[in-house]
Structure 1
Amino acid sequence: MTSWFAPGRINLIGEHTDYNDGYVLPFALEVGCTATVSPAPGADGWTVRSAQQPDPVDVRRSGLADADLAGVPDWSRYVLGALWLLTDRGVDVPPLDVGVDSDVPSGAGLSSSAALVCSVVRAVDDHLGLGLDDAALFALTRDVENDAVGAPTGGMDQLVSLRGEAGRALFCDMRSHETRSVPLDLAGNGLAVLVADTRAPHRHSDGEYGARRSGCEEAARRLGVAALRDVTADDLDAALGRLDDDELRRYVRHVVTEDDRVLSVVELLDAGRLADVGPLLTASHRSMRDDFRITVPEVDTAVDTLLGSGALGARMTGGGFGGCVIGLVPEADVDAAGEAVRRAFADAGFAEPDLFTAEPSPGAHPLAGR
């Protein structure tokens, strides 16, 4: 029996830049998913089970091309995807029993899916003794979400779930997939990241996320660049002048300015100026709201309330259309800011939000006693 834990994540800044070959700055959370892989002697297929689902799923061993995707629940594809893809790549995956147990809130924008996929991939790799290196592990986890699940994510969530470090954010170049840890000493600066789960759920496989991605790809094609990452802040005005589609112009403006904000935040954190990143977080939210148009009333209310309650900066985090908001808040103001958000939601008739603070935590790791 082999057990691995992989965390969810908060994205400090850098939204919808990952699939544009740009820059992101997430950090791993304390919450995550545990995957336990056991041999299944006497069986001739794979069984996957989840502590959050009522029934196990039994399937025959196969590659993805031969898998009965319509015959399995959506959640099980995140687990089975690794087994299907490894089989397609020539690995003789034996009969296995794979169990998962997650405490990442589903639909909150904290990447419960990446925690699930990364814990399964690490546990299967360890159990089978495959010895996959960092690049191969990342590629497999991303392919599970893109190919087996059909979610067009760009890979940021998997990178930080695999490579996160305690006390540090992870600066990711999504073109090269090179990463570097960046200091994020919240307590040492008397600050906290307050997370408000608005309980307005989102799903990456829904059409709006895919529409933004295809729009960005079309804009890059019209501009003659490989990806929007290749348009710099200095080039932005000229690039916008070459587009006659207002929607594509908005997408380009968000991605280019967001990449620039990520680089500025990294520079400030490297210099030990954590408090100074607040205005950049807020500017990121306004760009998501006005240019990319992926916010909803719940997240806008949470951001506005946090900013009015002492937060140095606040923004939606995650793919959009719901999920979580983060605020960079002085530790002394956390309780009051959280209560202000609760009151604002009650006054607006929204569901009660879940509020908690987040600390940068370790990435995927084996569990003792496995």
Structure 2
Amino acid sequence: MGDDLAQQAWSDEQGTRAALELFQQHFDGRPGGVWAAPGRVNLIGDHVDYNDGTCLPMALPHRTFVAVARRSDTAVRLVTGLQTDAPWRGDLAEVRPGGVEGWVAYSAGPAWALREEGVATTGFDAAIVSCVPVGAGLSSSAAVECAMGLALGELNGAPMGGDDAGRARLAALCVESENRVAGAPTGGMDQAASLRSEAGTLLHLDCRDGSVEHVAFPMGEMGVDLVVVDTRASHELADRQYGQRRASCEAAARALGVASLREVADRNRPEDLEPLLAALPDEQMRSRARHPITEMWRVEDMVKALGACDAVGAGRLMSQSHASLRDDFEVSVAELDGAVEAAVEAGAFGARMTGGGFGGSIVAPVPRGRASDVAHAVVERAQQEGFPIPEVHLVTPSAAAGRLA
């Protein structure tokens, strides 16, 4: 596929072996098992989850693998395969809002959420390895949360991976952990995608009631490959900008007299939107409200485009989504915009930033066999602009989190 396509995801065997080897290097005995959870890419529907909207994420083949052992005391010992993360030693009492931070908060936070839910969680040893790109807007945080949540629930007598109801419950606990322990004001899309997806499909997630439908992504019939470009621009969901966008949406909903902006999308047609937004007090609030409302409409149009195997229409919707995120919601950056432009110029049907923004990745459906052309184009554009050299991944909709060993 060309030198510009990054090394692809690990197999389950590779990830399991790496997690077990790391565990054996740092801890005595054997773990109680190995669990894995995928990152996600959102085909369309960003910044709608906390507005009660719908979105279309999918699980990536890139996964986080955790080897975990239950302890008889309250000690917690964590180690990751990243050289930047020093091993952590602490106690369950420290795993709480305000008690831990950084990667430890994401990795151990599910233990706090489970305990708050009434699960008698003990201490644990955990070795964590991952091929989910970190800081790329591909939900590396949700992947570790969901893998650890599955492991700790099962090891402490409260398995939640057996059916969709249990997985939905665990997803909600992982969201609570990320919000409260890690301090990131995210919605629930990432955890739902990691825990509730099915291979070969997109997850049509309704963030108002948590219901899901599995929408076929007929890549072969559409004649597309799906490319994800990690621009390697800095990306931090806990940044105050993300919280400000969420607060603006909530303020707009209050000003419009609705519980959430989903109600505006449900009750109105596109031609009615601008007169409605004119009632808001300033242009910034109007722009902040416009994006999630129009994005919800685009999600539903995307479902129709996929059902019709319409690659051109799907690409057009994705490009429209990027323009909305860039202009109305103002969460894009130059690296993302350059990658989108380069991908489309190289023949992609469309392209958009994906995730929370302020850095991270783009996603683009490209004509089958043209992924290398797009990879070369986005790398060349980054070099011309003096940006970090991006990593380009070829991805397919993959399976949800589960136990591997």
Whole-angstrom distance in 1 between the partners of 2:399 and 2:279:
44
Q: Measured at CA, do residues 44 and 174 of structure 1 come closer, stay the same or move farther in structure 2, by a change above 3 Å? A: closer
- Is 1:224–2:224 an aligned residue pair? no
Partner of residue 152, structure 1: 185
Q: Measured at CA, do residues 68 and 347 of structure 1 come closer, stay the same or move farther in structure 2, by a change above 3 Å? A: closer
Partner of residue 241, structure 2: 208
Q: Which 5+ residue runs of structure 2 have no aligned equivalent?
A: 1-31, 161-165
Deviations, residues 145-172 of structure 1 (Å, cap 9, x unaligned) = 1111111111000001001111111100
Partner of residue 98, structure 2: 69
Whole-angstrom distance in 1 between the partners of 2:148 and 2:298:
33
TM-score using structure 2 length: 0.86
Partner of residue 108, structure 1: 136
Work out which of the residue numbers 346, 353, 368 in structure 2 matches 1:316. Answer: 353
Whole-angstrom distance in 1 between the partners of 2:93 and 2:113:
9
Describe how 1:79-228 pairs up with structure 2 within 5 A: 79-132=107-160, 133-228=166-261
Whole-angstrom distance in 2 between the partners of 1:341 and 1:356:
12
Work out which of the residue numbers 324, 327, 330 in structure 2 matches 1:293. Answer: 330
Q: Measured at CA, do residues 339 and 83 of structure 1 come closer, stay the same or move farther in structure 2, by a change above 3 Å? A: same
Partner of residue 40, structure 2: 9
Identity, % of aligned positions = 40
Deviations, residues 125-183 of structure 1 (Å, cap 9, x unaligned) = 12222033233212111111111111111100000100111111110000011011101
Which residue identity does 2:212 align to in structure 1? Answer: T
Q: Which 5+ residue runs of structure 1 have no aligned equivalent?
A: none
Deviations, residues 15-63 of structure 1 (Å, cap 9, x unaligned) = 101110001100110111112220235x442222222254322222338
Are 2:225 and 2:367, in contact at CA under 8 Å, matched by a contact in 1? yes
More divergent stretch after superposition (304-313 vs 6-15): 304-313
More divergent stretch after superposition (125-134 vs 222-231): 125-134
Are 2:351 and 2:365, in contact at CA under 8 Å, matched by a contact in 1? yes
Deviations, residues 198-248 of structure 1 (Å, cap 9, x unaligned) = 110211100111100000000000000000111125242232121121111
Partner of residue 48, structure 1: 78
TM-score using structure 1 length: 0.94
Describe how 1:245-256 pairs up with structure 2 within 5 A: 245-256=282-293
Are 2:57 and 2:203, in contact at CA under 8 Å, matched by a contact in 1? yes
Task: Classify the secondary structure of the residue corresponding to 1:5.
Answer: strand
Partner of residue 268, structure 1: 305
Whole-angstrom distance in 2 between the partners of 1:306 and 1:106:
22
Work out which of the residue numbers 278, 287, 292 in structure 2 matches 1:241. Answer: 278
Whole-angstrom distance in 1 between the partners of 2:53 and 2:74:
44
Whole-angstrom distance in 1 between the partners of 2:43 and 2:246:
20
Which residue identity does 1:90 align to in structure 2? Answer: G
Whole-angstrom distance in 1 between the partners of 2:97 and 2:204:
38
Partner of residue 5, structure 2: none
RMSD: 1.6
Work out which of the residue numbers 290, 297, 302 in structure 1 matches 2:339. Answer: 302
How far did 1:356 drift? 1.6
Are 1:63 and 1:86, in contact at CA under 8 Å, matched by a contact in 2? no
Which residue identity does 2:244 align to in structure 1? Answer: A
Task: Classify the secondary structure of the residue corresponding to 1:292.
Answer: coil
Whole-angstrom distance in 2 between the partners of 1:22 and 1:73:
30
Whole-angstrom distance in 2 between the partners of 1:261 and 1:279:
10
Between the two proteins, the alignment pairs up a number of residues equal to 364
Task: Classify the secondary structure of the residue corresponding to 2:215.
Answer: strand
Are 1:78 and 1:145, in contact at CA under 8 Å, matched by a contact in 2? yes
Work out which of the residue numbers 39, 42, 50 in structure 2 matches 1:19. Answer: 50
- Is 1:283–2:309 an aligned residue pair? no
How far did 1:92 drift? 2.1
How far did 1:351 drift? 1.3
Describe how 1:329-340 pairs up with structure 2 within 5 A: 329-340=366-377
Which residue identity does 1:99 align to in structure 2? Answer: A
Q: Measured at CA, do residues 159 and 44 of structure 1 come closer, stay the same or move farther in structure 2, by a change above 3 Å? A: closer
Describe how 1:344-359 pairs up with structure 2 within 5 A: 344-359=381-396
Which residue identity does 1:47 align to in structure 2? Answer: R
How far did 1:313 drift? 0.7
Whole-angstrom distance in 2 between the partners of 1:175 and 1:358:
28
Whole-angstrom distance in 1 between the partners of 2:177 and 2:85:
23
